[in-house]
Structure 1
Amino acid sequence: MAQHKVARSVVVDAPAEKVFDILASPGRHAEFDGSGTVRDAVRGPERLGPGDEFGMDMRMGVPYRMANRVVEFEEGRLIAWRHFGVHRWRFETEPLSDGTCRVTETFDYSAGGPALRFGYMLAGWPARNGRSIEQTLVRLKDLVEGGA
């Protein structure tokens, strides 16, 4: 794994398209968020595409709103967004030969300068993001396989 990225993967017993449909629906993000910070989509399209903007109600101690923009998009395979910061949250779906798919979530903070990357490390964000990603993938797998 490249430096300044935190990634985890899980195999989901469903086609990649089904998983991607949930990932591309901001109104469903709170259902699988493992960080405990995502509350609800407050603006934007029902289904995301390249360059789309969407807003989320969040809570990390106190409630706040976050505006995001889709910065990477490949239908059915890749979606990534960022807010005002330079880091990205990326989801990739990889179809497997048995009809399942591998889902990889990556928190990518490589675009920030050395001071920003050092600040993330000092604050413990990579480890914290790793734990959140692991929980997100468990929740996403349960959501998709549960027939939602």
Structure 2
Amino acid sequence: MTTTSRYLVSVSKVIAADRQWLFDILADPAQHPLIDGSGSVKALRPGGPGRLSLGASFSMDMHLTADYKIRNTVVEFEEPALIGWRHFNGHIWRYRLTEVAGGTEVTEEWDARGVPNRLGLVLLRFPQRNRAGMTATLERMAELAAARG
């Protein structure tokens, strides 16, 4: 299931895996390049926590047209159901995990509703680009779960 509005993109997929196992991947920022379907998350920068928690900050090496680094702060954290981090720009990357028949429904959200310059993000087509990357991320998570057995 995919929902796209002007400032919120939400993509869901049922993954045949334990909710805690999936949450553990999301709470380990070193795993983010492995699951990233956008191709923009390159590596965890040194100095951050090994496991995310509410208020934790971590930085990533990124690439989107050019190399850059970005610092994130965890602003939502309810283990093993919800984790979200905010970028400097104010938008939030959020994951909701719900137990369902056959595994876990994972919903990834890009939420720019609280961003002051959000119209610029829309004009640069971030909602559409992010939807494609999010769909690929959930596919990668499903592939990891399948490989794990």
TM-score above 0.5: yes
Partners of 1:26 and 1:112 lie apart in 2 by 24
Q: Distance in 1 between matches of 2:119 and 2:65?
A: 23
Per the alignment, residue 108 of structure 2 pairs with 105
The answer for unaligned runs of 5 or more in structure 1 is: none
Moved over 4 A (4+): none
Deviations 1:35-90 (A, max 9, x none): 11101111311111111011111111221111110000001110000121110000
Match in the other structure for 1:143: 144
- Root-mean-square deviation (CA, aligned residues, Å) is 1.5
Q: Distance in 2 between matches of 1:48 and 1:29?
A: 12
**Do 2:6 and 2:122's aligned partners in 1 also have CA atoms closer than 8 Å?**
no
- 2:42 is matched with 39
Secondary structure at 1:146's aligned position in 2? helix
- Equivalent positions of 1:78-97 (< 5 A) are 78-97=82-101
TM norm structure 2: 0.91
Cα distance in 2 for residues equivalent to 1:3 and 1:118? 9
What is the rounded CA distance, in whole Å, between the counterparts of 2:90 and 2:120 in structure 1? 13
Q: CA deviation at 1:144?
A: 2.1
Query: In structure 1, how many angstroms separate the alpha carbons of the residues matched to 2:115 and 2:59?
Result: 22
SS in 1 for 2:52: coil
Alignment of 1:98-137 (within 5 A): 98=102, 100-113=103-116, 116-137=117-138
Percent identity, aligned pairs only? Answer: 39
Q: Report the AA paired with residue 45 of structure 1.
A: P
Q: Matches of 1:121 and 1:54 in 2, distance apart?
A: 26
* Alpha-carbon distance in structure 1 between the residues aligned to 2:6 and 2:66: 31
Structure 2: stretches of 5+ with no match in the other structure: none
Report 1:16-27 matches (<5 A): 16-27=19-30
- Alpha-carbon displacement from aligned partner over 1:10-46 (angstroms, at most 9, x marks no partner): 1110111010000110000000101111011113111
Instruction: Give, in whole Å, the separation in 1 of the partners of 2:137 and 2:101.
Output: 24
Structure 1: distance between partners of 2:7 and 2:64 = 23
Find the aligned partners of 1:28 and 1:62 in 2 and give their Cα distance: 22
